[in-house]
Amino acid sequence: MKFLVTGGAGFIGSNFVNLMSREHPEDDYLVYDALTYCGNLFSIEAALGRKNVSFLRGDISDEAAVDALFGRERFDYVVNFAAETHVDRSIKDPKAFLRSNVEGTLTLLEAARKHGLKRFHQVSTDEVYGMLPLEDKDLAFTEESPLAPSSPYSASKAAADLYVLAYHRTYGLNVTISRCSNNYGPYQFPEKLIPLVLTRALKDERIPVYGNGKNVRDWLYVEDHCRAIDLIVRKGDDGEIYNVGGHGEKENIEVVKLILETLGKPLSLIAYVKDRPGHDLRYAINPTKVSSLGFAPTHRPEEGIKKTIEWYLSHRDWLRKVEDGSYLAYVKEQYGE
């Protein structure tokens, strides 16, 4: 089978390509990525050494290029990871998220409709559901939860999901959608919480924590997420949505303290900063539906975060390559000195 993996040089996409190209040598994977600030060929260096993986630089919003690619390659499956994903950036520049997350997805759907394929899989987020209250620990998002996005990022992902479902109903395109909780693991760009804390702690720099740090996230190790996606693509039902969670709810401040304690760094590095606008209080996933396909997360946050720390410590060359001037300028603008 031939896979198109859009955004395959980004965080989750690169982990998917690295893992699946190794475990499914009978399948071919073409990575299509614009290589924006968080896309990095070093993240798929090992996969590109395999005969079943190739790379093409391109923008999913480029209609002519995408149409030509689909016509030439005749893909069986599309797995769309390509997206702008950072909430803080979406607050500063919402239009960039509209272009990539909505217009880009629509361009891919049109090409899939025109040229045909076995399945189009959209990688989405639990943030499309909005937030849950902190006090009711029994509440969790299901696939029937209403869409109530809080940020320009989550609004753009919700819009893309609706287009995917509309192409299924209107044109009969075979689609699936996965909505995941907060991912962490190797190759994550150091603007997200876990690698941000880790990289700053290694330099003994202050660790910015929004508000009181009590916001709760359901932490999902990226390799577990990738295995769930593979199951959904191959075994999921046409037109269905699957929520993917890690049974790993933790407060942000708990995660920060775990990283500092693992590194032997003082908690005095923590600096509470002004909360961001529309900051969701809590996310939690009910993964019953995807579990019916045989999925079960294998990493608890305590184990997975320590495993992630070990990866970053042994891949400091990768960190050096991604921590360029533009990233450092962004961190200074966002969090101050």
Catalytic residue among 28, 59, 127, 249: 127
Cα–Cα distance measured from residue 136 to residue 162, given in angstroms and rounded to the nearest whole number: 29
Catalytic residue among 32, 153, 210, 335: 153
**Is residue 127 among the annotated active site residues?**
yes
Q: Are 176 and 238 in contact (CB under 8 A)?
A: yes
Q: Are 237 and 119 in contact (CB under 8 A)?
A: no
Cα–Cα distance measured from residue 49 to residue 180, given in angstroms and rounded to the nearest whole number: 29
**Is residue 126 among the annotated active site residues?**
yes
Q: Going edge to edge, which strands form the sheet with 249-251?
A: 182-184, 216-221, 249-251
Assign 244 to helix, strand or coil.
strand
Among residues 97, 98, 121, 127, the alpha carbon closest in space to that of 109 is found at 121
**Is residue 153 among the annotated active site residues?**
yes
Q: Which CA distances in Å does 212 have to 95, 274, 275, 277? A: 30, 9, 8, 14
Q: Which residues contact 171 (CB under 8 A, 6 or more apart)?
A: 113
Catalytic residue among 33, 59, 126, 224: 126
- Residues designated as active site: 126-127, 153
